[in-house]
A and B are shown apart, each in its own frame.
Chain A
Amino acid sequence: MLLIRCPYCEEERPELEFRNAGEAHIARSANMAGESDDDFEKFFFIRSNPKGIIYERWRHMHGCARFFNAVRDTVTDKFVMTYKAGEPKPAKLPGASK
């Protein structure tokens, strides 16, 4: 079973307690009504779906119930790191070779 580190519980917990909550760092426009259709489409539907490192939101559903961000490799399913919601996208990943 995968162990995922929850930044709020400050320890690794079994994956069964967690839920994926989609891609992270997608900012909602402050002026949604003024968005063009193309921009709205990009915000609402278009996701990066990369092969490799992805930044995702996860929720510790059956634990502290908090949302947080995680960096995961979609090829190996390895969690590179997790950090609290609201924190900026990490500039440098620990142990990243790419």
Chain B
Amino acid sequence: MAKAAAKKTAPVASPSVERRPALAGRSTSATGVKVEVLPPAERISLRAPEASAAALSKALGVPLPKKPKTSASKAGRTALWLGPDEWLVIDEAGNDPLADCAKVSALHSAVGISHRNIAISVAGPAAEAAINSGCPQDLSLEAFPVGAASRTILGKAEIVLLRTAADAFRVECWRSFSDYVFTFLSEGARDAAG
């Protein structure tokens, strides 16, 4: 019986895997600020004790920042300080930071979250005001300089904020919140422009 059933089944076609990024290509422009969805990137959530930081920094090719609210960037790879033993590593050059961490024997936990997050760029002279429409942090250049990074909130959603230039931010949010965050930022951009 089992044999007959096996004969009948058609050869299994190789499964087709298609990555469908949320919100791909969406963008909004208002006077002084542009909100757009950034292309997919490789990301890992990295947790490690202080003793492992040096080995991980070497393997990743980017020094893991030790100071709160800072980030370090090198060759398309950025490490963001999220907590005393927690970093978000984003790779925009197409290399896999997970594979680099796998070579490290020092104690650490690296989890691939490339598909969990969506990145949104908010750029322009009014970018600060657009984000501040829903984020309570002080985003002035003195308090949040270029390269500063922090996990915080925007409206009701948690985001990770990275200042890439004096007038440009990268907003990382969870995929399921991306529609909300994008719409919130678009509304914020319109308000900031008006």
Is the pairing of A and B real? yes
Shortest CB-to-CB span from A61 to chain B, Å, is: 8
Find out whether the CB atom of B86 lies under 8 angstroms from the CB atom of A64. yes
Find out whether the CB atom of A63 lies under 8 angstroms from the CB atom of B84. no
Find out whether the CB atom of B137 lies under 8 angstroms from the CB atom of A13. yes
The 5 closest A-B pairs by CB, nearest first: A14-B136, A64-B83, A9-B68, A62-B153, A16-B136
Contact-size category for B? 10 to 19
Contact for B151 among A11, A14, A16, A63, CB less than 8 A? A63
Contact-size category for A? 10 to 19
Find out whether the CB atom of B83 lies under 8 angstroms from the CB atom of A65. yes
Find out whether the CB atom of A10 lies under 8 angstroms from the CB atom of B83. no
Shortest CB-to-CB span from A18 to chain B, Å, is: 10
B contact face: mostly helix, strand, loop, or mixed:
strand
Name the A residues within 8 Å of B153 (CB-CB).
16-17, 62
Q: Report how many A-B pairs have Cβ atoms within 8 Å.
A: 39
With A8-B68, A10-B68, A17-B136 as known contacts, state yes or no: A63 contacts B86, CB within 8 Å: no
A66 to B151, CA, bound (A): 12
Name the B residues within 8 Å of A10 (CB-CB).
68
Residue numbers of A with Cβ under 8 A of B are: 1, 8-11, 13-14, 16-17, 62-66
Of all chain A residues, the one with the shortest Cβ separation from B150 is: A63
1/0 per residue, CB under 8 A from A, across B154-173: the answer is: 00001000000000000000
Find out whether the CB atom of A64 lies under 8 angstroms from the CB atom of B136. no
Of all chain B residues, the one with the shortest Cβ separation from A60 is: B83
With A16-B136, A62-B158, A64-B68 as known contacts, state yes or no: A8 contacts B84, CB within 8 Å: yes
Shortest CB-to-CB span from A79 to chain B, Å, is: 16
Of all chain A residues, the one with the shortest Cβ separation from B159 is: A62
Find out whether the CB atom of B68 lies under 8 angstroms from the CB atom of A11. yes
Name the B residues within 8 Å of A11 (CB-CB).
68-69
Of all chain B residues, the one with the shortest Cβ separation from A13 is: B137
Name the B residues within 8 Å of A14 (CB-CB).
136-137
Contact for B69 among A9, A16, A62, A66, CB less than 8 A? A9
Knowing that A11-B69, A14-B137 touch, tell me 18 more A-B residue pairs with CB under 8 angstroms: A8-B68, A8-B83, A11-B68, A13-B137, A16-B136, A17-B152, A62-B151, A62-B153, A62-B158, A63-B83, A63-B151, A64-B68, A64-B82, A65-B82, A65-B83, A65-B86, A66-B83, A66-B84
